[in-house]
Amino acid sequence: MTPRTLYEKIWDAHVVSSRDDGTSLIYIDRHLVHEVSSAQAFEGLRKAGLPVRRTDLTLAMPDHNVPTTPRVDAAGKLIPIVDPASAIQLAALECNVAEFGVPFFTATSPEQGIVHVVGPEQGFTLPGCTLVCGDSHTAAHGALGALAFGIGTTEVEHVLATQTLRMARSRSMEIRVEGKLGHGVSAKDVILAVIGRIGVGGGIGHVIEYRGSVFDAMSIEERLTVANMSIEAGARAGLFAPDETTFAYLKGRPMAPKGKQWDNAVARWRNLRGDDGAVFDKSISIDASTIAPSVTWGTNPEQVVSIDSAAPRLEDFADEGRRAAVARALDYMGIAPGQAMVDVEVDHVFIGSCTNSRIEDLRAAARVLEGRHLSPRIQSAIVVPGSGLVKRMAEAEGLDTIFMDAGFEWREPGCSACLGMNPDVIPPLGRCASTSNRNFVGRQGPDARTHLMSPAMAAAAGVAGHLADVRAYIGEPA
């Protein structure tokens, strides 16, 4: 048999039927549902008189529109949502899941959070499964060896009705990072470096497989950060082969298999790796020692540099079109060509999003903040845990106190300031050190300026009041 990549193996195992036009009907093992991309899909089912085919493989929760301020008052009574559009979205999801019998975490359940944080945390996401969600960052679940795709609302309806999806096969791409990461270099810096190298279009049409010693050494939290941003490189999905780290992470999770079923599952999952000799359509190799703590300077995640360097100069770009694009990005960001990144003053800090709101992210930020305080420049600083479970774990460790002593607000789980869809927005011309994944024009609010970075770097920027090199805040390597 021809050696196959991990992607090819999972794909082949899920093909229901194939057509001459190159598309296949793929079986879907898991479906996550949130309020933004599901309303019309449920409406479609209702009109067609169809049920949800496999409610047991579906899990819904609100995340994008929920306010991150307290949801119940001191007496335990629900606090109504002020924004009418959000209130309608959330009410629609609640009606839909009740009518169709879909398992649901309400905005006040302890398990609620961002779908991409909750899926892995609950053991809903499993190695070798196909997982979809009407959300582009579904790629994150590839961290556990799930073939995970973001889909549109029409496809959400198709999956709800049939538990299948029609898709064309993607090309395969290997991203290999070998060596040892330097002091203060995080998973976020690795994926920003990858996107900086291959560009926001570098992964188009491909499923990325992350391989090599750096990825092998990563925790699941770190792998989730990397896989999450596969989509920012244009890729269809990102995959890590499951290993002992994966099995240890999943064991005992509420929705993961138990007992004999667990043992059987692990035995199966051990085969989920690319065969020796499998050929990728594209292979990229990066030396870990070339990756530094990084920040974006522009308006897409590819526009990234190491913190100890400067924004580009226009004369660095021979191509006129590129030069104009760089000039536009710098202008939007209010950064002078060639300006040193550490000279860029910051006035907002956002620690959260499905990229960086897990317990390890919060620990990394808290480590920088312990015994320190936000700069008086900072107008808003919020920490938004990715889920209720992350929040409670952090509180049990005293991280909330560290954040609040440093001047941060400690919020309820949700997408928050990652995108301007709820009350957490960055004001026009406000500049935010953000642990999220998109720095597009207007992403965090109209005319807001976003610098993407790791949680530790965002904490350091908050303390300094300008973009700052985290290495100065975390001491020497042990």
Binding-site annotation, residues for [4Fe-4S] cluster: 354, 415, 418
x/- track of binding to ligand IPM for residues 260-289 (CB under 6 A):
------------------------------
List the beta bridge partners of residue 272. none
Nearer CB in complex with ligand SF4: 242/352: 352
Interface positions, 8-47, toward ligand IPM (CB under 6 A): 36-37
Nearer to ligand SF4, 233 or 272 (CB): 233
- Give the nearer residue to ligand IPM in terms of CB position, either 137 or 206: 137
Amino acid identity of residue 127, one-letter, is: P
For the CB of residue 358, give the shortest distance to ligand SF4 in the complex, in Å.
12
135 or 222: CB nearest ligand SF4 = 135
Which listed option, ligand IPM, ligand SF4, none, makes contact with residue 36 (CB within 5 to 8 Å by class)?
ligand IPM
Instruction: Quote the least distance from Cβ 37 to ligand IPM, whole Å.
Output: 5
- Burial degree of 396 (CB within 10 A; 0-12, 13-18, 19+): exposed
Q: Which listed option, ligand SF4, ligand IPM, none, makes contact with residue 378 (CB within 5 to 8 Å by class)?
A: none
Q: Among 398, 411, 408, which residue's Cα sits nearest to residue 363?
A: 398
Instruction: Tell which positions 411-440 bind ligand IPM, by CB under 6 A.
Output: 419
Tell me how far apart the alpha carbons of residues 474 and 124 are, in angstroms, rounded to a whole number: 35
Smallest separation (angstroms) from ligand SF4 to the CB of 418? 3
Strands (E), 196-321: 206-211, 237-239, 282-287, 294-296, 304-306
Distance CA 73, CA 79 (A): 6
In the complex, minimum distance from the CB of residue 135 to ligand IPM, in angstroms, rounded to a whole number = 4
User: By CB under 6 A, is residue 137 in contact with ligand IPM?
Assistant: yes
| Alpha helix positions (H), 101-218 | 115-122, 153-162, 187-198, 213-216
- Least distance from ligand SF4 to the Cβ atom of residue 33, Å: 12
Nearer to ligand IPM, 135 or 347 (CB): 135
Site of interaction with ligand SF4 (CB under 6 A): 63-64, 114, 116, 135, 137, 353-354, 415, 418-419, 436-437
Cα 244–Cα 247–Cα 253 angle in degrees, nearest 5: 155
433 binds, among ligand SF4, ligand IPM, none (CB under 5 to 8 A by kind): none
d(CA 233, CA 115): 21
Tell me the backbone φ, ψ of residue 386, rounded to 5 degrees: -70, -20
The residue count for binding ligand IPM (CB under 6 A) is 8
Burial state string for 418-455 with b = 16 or more CB within 10 A and e = fewer than 16 = bbebbbbbbeeebbbbbbbbbbeebbbbeebbbbbbbb
Answer for the pair 416, 391: CB distance below 8 angstroms, yes or no: no
Q: Identify whether the C-beta of residue 91 lies closer than 8 Å to the C-beta of residue 48.
A: no
Cα first-last separation, the chain: 47
- Of residues 185 through 214, those in contact with ligand IPM by CB under 6 A are none
Query: E strands, 204-360, where?
Result: 206-211, 237-239, 282-287, 294-296, 304-306, 348-351
We find the least distance from the C-beta atom of residue 387 to ligand SF4, in angstroms, to be: 11
Q: Which is nearer to ligand SF4, 172 or 439 (CB)?
A: 439
Q: Does 135 bind ligand IPM (CB under 6 A)?
A: yes
SS3 category, 223: helix
| Position 329, amino acid | A
**Pair 65, 7: CB distance under 8 Å:** no
Which SS3 state, helix, strand or coil, does residue 407 take?
coil
CA distances from 24 to 165, 229, 281, 446, 456 (A): 8, 26, 20, 41, 43
Contacts of 294 by beta carbon, 8 Å cutoff, 6+ apart: 188, 189, 192, 193, 196, 304, 305, 306, 307, 453, 457
Least distance in angstroms from the C-beta of 114 to ligand SF4: 5
Instruction: Decide whether 117 or 406 has the Cβ nearer to ligand SF4.
Output: 117
Select 375 or 435, whichever has its Cβ closest to ligand SF4: 435
Nearer CB in complex with ligand IPM: 142/150: 150
Partner in contact with 114, chosen from ligand SF4, ligand IPM, none, beta carbon below 5 to 8 Å by kind: ligand SF4
**Least Å distance between CB 340 and ligand SF4?**
29
Q: How far is the CB of 424 from ligand SF4 (least distance, A)?
A: 11
Are 152 and 92 within 8 A, CB to CB? no
Stretch that binds ligand IPM, among 129-137, 180-188, 320-328, 403-411 (CB under 6 A): 129-137
Which residues sit in the known binding site? 354, 415, 418
**Per-residue mark of binding to ligand IPM, 86-125 (x: CB under 6 A):** ----------------------------------------
454, interface contact from ligand SF4, ligand IPM, none, CB < 5-8 Å by kind:
none
Residue numbers at the binding site for ligand IPM (CB under 6 A)? 36-37, 64, 135-137, 150, 419
